[in-house]
Amino acid sequence: GAVVSQHPSRVICKSGTSVKIECRSLDFQATTMFWYRQFPKQSLMLMATSNEGSKATYEQGVEKDKFLINHASLTLSTLTVTSAHPEDSSFYICSARRAGGPHEQYFGPGTRLTVT
Amino acid sequence: DAKTTQPTSMDCAEGRAANLPCNHSTISGNEYVYWYRQIHSQGPQYIIHGLKNNETNEMASLIITEDRKSSTLILPHATLRDTAVYYCIVVVWGNKLVFGAGTILRVKS
């Protein structure tokens, strides 16, 4: 159990366009989901924390108007990269924490975004 | 949350035990030790966590020193598929996970 999926797994978009990434908890309800970004040969960097039904909390230095997060249900969170630029090219990973259950976070497989 | 220190990389022979150390000398009494790993180009995978006592599950064992200032993750019989970056994270229950650089474990045949 505790499976988290992401869609798409890979996406290539042109500079200036927006891209939406979905994160779903498949077999559990998640009150809290997290979004991370990882550049090549670097560790994961937390971007934001989202709680179902409320606004996301962004980490310092992360532009909330550029990275729109919506956590509309207990099983779905979306990250929209608006007006993407080549420097936004990265590996985006979501994770989910089970509602009322163990504390550990379960991670999705990641989405590779390439902006040309 | 307390900072952790891990070796940059380690090698281990296939079939042998892999012992990954983590130093967290500034850990507080309410902070847990969590271990995750990340295989190349995948999302991190939860391995194990503990507070004071040693813990064991189907993947690994976690040994925490009595003063809680360091811990060791043990993979009892490492396989090639265990090659990954291993992250030791110290965090208060319910707080967000912050990843450091981790240890690159290379299992060699």
The per-residue pLDDT for range A2-42, each reduced to its tens digit, is: 899 999 999 999 999 999 999 999 998 988 999 999 999 99
> Average pLDDT of each block of 10 consecutive residues along chain B (109 residues)?
90 97 94 95 93 95 97 97 97 87 97
- Contact check, Cβ <8 Å, A44/B42: no
Q: What is the pLDDT of residue A102?
A: 64
8-state DSSP, B5 = B
Closest-CA distance of chain B to residue A83, Å: 25
- Tell me, rounded to whole angstroms, the distance of Cα B50 from its chain centroid: 11
Amino acid at B10: M
Closest-CA distance of chain B to residue A53, Å: 18
Q: What is the DSSP string of A36-98?
A: EEE-TTS--EEEEEEETTS--EEPTT--TTTEEEEEEETTEEEEEE-S--GGG-EEEEEEEEE
CA distance B30 to B64: 14
Decide if B53 touches A, using CB distance below 8 A. Answer: no
Q: What is the pLDDT of residue A83?
A: 96
Q: What is the dihedral of CA A104, A88, A115, A21, to 10 degrees?
A: 30
Answer positive or negative: Cα dihedral of A38, A65, A54, A26.
negative
Contact residues, chain A, for B41 at CB < 8 Å: 91, 110, 112
